[in-house]
Amino acid sequence: MKVQVAIIGAGPSGLLLGAMLHKAGIDAVIIEQRSADYVLGRIRAGVLEQGTVEMLDHVGVRERMFKQGLWHDGFEIGYRNSHHRIDLKTLTGGKRVMVYGQTEVTHDLMDARSAAGAKTVYEAEDVAVHDFDTGKPRVTWRKDGAEHELSCDFIAGCDGFHGVSRRSVPENAIQTYEKVYPFGWLGVLSDTPPVSHELIYSNHARGFALCSMRSMTRSRYYIQCPLDDKVENWSDDAFFDELRRRLDPAAAEAMVTGPSIEKSIAPLRSFVAEPMRFSSLFLAGDAAHIVPPTGAKGLNLAASDVHYLANGLIEHYQEGSAAGLDAYSERCLRRVWKAVRFSWWFTSLMHKFPDDTGFGQKIQEAEIGYLLGSTAASTALAENYVGLPLEV
Residues labelled catalytic:
72, 201, 293, 297, 385
Choose, by CB under 6 A, the member of 9, 12, 46, 194 that binds ligand PHB.
46
Residues 6+ apart with CB under 8 A from 15: 30, 106, 109, 110, 113
31 binds ligand RFL (CB under 6 A): yes
Closest CA to 174 of 132, 124, 145: 132
Residues 6+ apart with CB under 8 A from 170: none
Rounded alpha-carbon distances, angstroms, from residue 364 to 86, 97, 114, 379: 17, 26, 49, 18
Shortest distance, position 181 Cβ to ligand PHB, whole Å: 14
Rounded alpha-carbon distances, angstroms, from residue 92 to 135, 302, 314, 386: 44, 22, 32, 8
296 binds ligand PHB (CB under 6 A): yes
163 contacts which partner out of ligand PHB, ligand RFL, none, CB within 5 to 8 A by kind? ligand RFL
46 binds ligand RFL (CB under 6 A): yes
Stretch that binds ligand PHB, among 23-31, 45-53, 252-260, 272-280 (CB under 6 A): 45-53
Q: Give the number of residues in contact with ligand PHB, rule: CB under 6 A.
A: 9
Site residues (CB under 6 A) for ligand RFL, limited to 246-305: 266, 285-286, 293, 296-300, 302
Shortest distance, position 373 Cβ to ligand RFL, whole Å: 27
Distance CA 299, CA 99 (A): 12
33 contacts which partner out of ligand RFL, ligand PHB, none, CB within 5 to 8 A by kind? ligand RFL
12 contacts which partner out of ligand RFL, ligand PHB, none, CB within 5 to 8 A by kind? ligand RFL
Stretch that binds ligand PHB, among 44-52, 122-130, 225-233, 319-327 (CB under 6 A): 44-52
Phi, psi of 357 (to 5 degrees): -95, 5
Fill in the DSSP letter of residue 99: E
Distance CA 341, CA 287 (A): 18
Residues 6+ apart with CB under 8 A from 93: none
> Which positions lie near ligand PHB, rule CB under 6 A?
45-47, 199, 212, 220, 293-294, 296
